[in-house]
Amino acid sequence: MKRVLVTGSLGYVGSILCPYLLARGYEVHGYDTGFFKDELLYPAPAYDTTIKDARDLTKDDLKGFDALVHLAAISNDPFGSMGEEEVYGPTRVYAKMLAAWCKELGIDFIFASSCSVYGASTGDLTDEDGPLAPLTPYSRNKLAIESDLKELADDKFSPIALRFATAYGLSPRMRFDIVINMLVGMAVGKKAVVLNSAGTAWRPFIHVEDMAYTIECALNRSRAGGLLILNAGQTEENFQIKDIAHMVSEGAGGNVPVSFLTEAKTLDKESAELVRDRKVPDGKDARTYRVSFEKIKKTLPDYAPTHTVASAIPDMIRELQDMNFSEQDFKRIGFYRLQKMEQLFKNDEVDHNLRWVKSA
């Protein structure tokens, strides 16, 4: 039985990954600082998790594990008076620290990176050797951690960086601040689909359950020297945002109007603030990339994710409707990473170091 440690185990992905691995016979233990542990869309399965900041882990915490899956991260923009380095600097430090200990202890290291490192592309499919142009603090941080892993890697230590496509799909600790989830939640909760940009940007997408599947494939890969970087997703699952919006409208019965934030008369101020993306000034999204996922199919035997955007959107809509998902559910701050962190900060529950002031 393989023993797996998961950082960020009480996040959007961790809440799917940990039960997934447990159901497949892995022994799993999680660590999480607990920012979102009580923000539940629906009941979460129980699994072994210690409330502990990744910065406070010690080498002893890692002993006895066969693999570490590093999900813990900051996934929102800087806020308040905090700058990029203040928010993201520590995540790079502890990622490198954990990876160095894994190397010393002979533990496999899997890092959740992101296709957002490609930033702005020409419109052609890009692969792992394509140009990198990270446009956000989040994506620059992912690329910096990849660089650190490359320095640590050698013939005996071969970490893997999975550059995940944009996530979507239901999770107990839900996020409605990522594009498909937001549009689906809006369609069900507000009976509207509102884009915060012109919708012409391209993105690749991966279902959160397929992310868990991908990580399991990575856990069982044959080892080779150096850092292995893999785009994680399916080439056929690249879409323009405007096409996603129309798919959501159709999945909701075809009677949900599609509009743009600048012209959305149905949105109250609170909803508009949740929909508005601070990385999309004046409705123009510079982040656009189409990604090839051919390398991962060649590298991980029998790699075959099972979800597609076209089939998942109607399923998500039905599941939310069965939960009696409401407008108030859609507007719950705990489902939005940036807004939740701002709230914790303003309420003096976390400090400038993004550490708890009060107990989690």
Backbone angles phi, psi at 295, to 5 degrees: -65, -40
Say if 242 falls within a structural domain: no
Say if 327 falls within a structural domain: no
Nearest to 57 by CA among 16, 112, 100, 11: 100
Residue 221, Cβ neighbours under 10 Å: how many? 17
- 133: DSSP letter: -
Query: What tokens appear for 188 in the block?
Result: 């069900």
Cα 82 to the center of its chain, rounded Å: 22
Whether the CB-CB separation of 173 and 36 falls below 8 Å is answered with yes
Region of 197 (left: φ > 0; alpha: ψ -120 to 50; beta: rest) is beta
pLDDT per residue rounded down to tens, the chain (360 residues): 799 999 999 999 999 999 999 999 999 999 999 999 999 999 999 999 999 999 999 999 999 999 999 999 998 888 777 889 988 999 999 999 999 999 999 999 999 999 999 998 777 899 999 999 998 999 999 999 999 999 999 999 999 999 999 999 999 999 999 999 999 999 999 999 988 877 889 999 999 999 999 999 999 987 778 999 999 999 999 999 999 999 999 999 888 888 887 766 666 666 666 666 665 555 566 788 999 999 999 999 889 999 999 999 999 999 999 999 999 999 999 999 999 999 999 999 999 899 999 765
Distance CA 219, CA 4 (A): 9
| Residue 75 half-sphere exposure toward CB, CA atoms < 13 A | 23
Distance CA 247, CA 289 (A): 20
User: What is the number of domains present in the chain?
Assistant: 1
DSSP 3-state assignment of 339? helix
Say if 256 falls within a structural domain: no
Say if 324 falls within a structural domain: no
Say if 126 falls within a structural domain: yes
Query: What tokens appear for 325 in the block?
Result: 């998902």
pTM of the model: 0.94
Domain extent, residue 18, equals: 3-175+205-236+291-305+336-346
Residue 81 is part of a domain; what is its CATH number? Answer: 3.40.50.720
Placement of tokens 């708890």 in the chain? 356
Distance CA 156, CA 179 (A): 39
